[in-house]
């Protein structure tokens, strides 16, 4: 059964890093356009379209960030749970190993 389900905690950490990078890059792209005002671009129609795009981009970027933040929190919780299970399992296996090497019969005390 172990062959069918494996979790690489390092991969979870990398996934979190990638999610954070996505948010940063999205914000950088939006920020790059922040200083450009519609009246600098061209015709009134183009200016209006650019203003609308900026508003929608900002809204969409905010929603995307909210979703990514939710995913990040879920992944962090899962990562922590996997780490706790690994630690508990290692502790139990060590206790079993200690008992088997020390005779482990309990001695009847």
Report helix angle 9-34 to 44-101, nearest 10.
Answer: 160
**Which residue in 79, 82, 65 sits closest to 20, CA to CA?**
65
Could you read off the pLDDT of 28-61 as tens digits, one per residue?
877 776 666 656 667 778 778 877 888 888 888 8
| Residue located via tokens 């139990």 | 92
Does residue 25 register a pLDDT over 80? Answer: yes
Please count the helices (runs of H) and the strands (runs of E) in the chain. 2, 0
**Which residue in 15, 17, 16, 49 sits closest to 33, CA to CA?**
49
**Which residue in 106, 105, 13, 28 sits closest to 65, CA to CA?**
28
The reported pTM is 0.59
Could you read off the pLDDT of 57-100 as tens digits, one per residue?
888 888 888 888 899 899 889 989 989 998 999 999 999 999 98
């Amino acid at each position: 059964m172990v062959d069918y389900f494996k979790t690489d905690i390092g991969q979870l950490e990398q996934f979190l890093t990638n999610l954070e990078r996505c948010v940063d890059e999205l914000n950088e792209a939006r920020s790059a356009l922040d200083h450009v005002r519609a009246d600098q671009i061209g015709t009134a129609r183009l200016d209006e379209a650019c203003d609308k795009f900026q508003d929608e981009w900002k809204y969409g970027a905010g929603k995307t960030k909210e979703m990514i933040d939710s995913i990040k929190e879920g992944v962090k919780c899962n990562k922590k749970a996997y780490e706790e299970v690994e630690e508990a399992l290692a502790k139990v296996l060590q206790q079993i190993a200690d008992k088997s090497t020390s005779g482990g019969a309990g001695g009847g005390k």
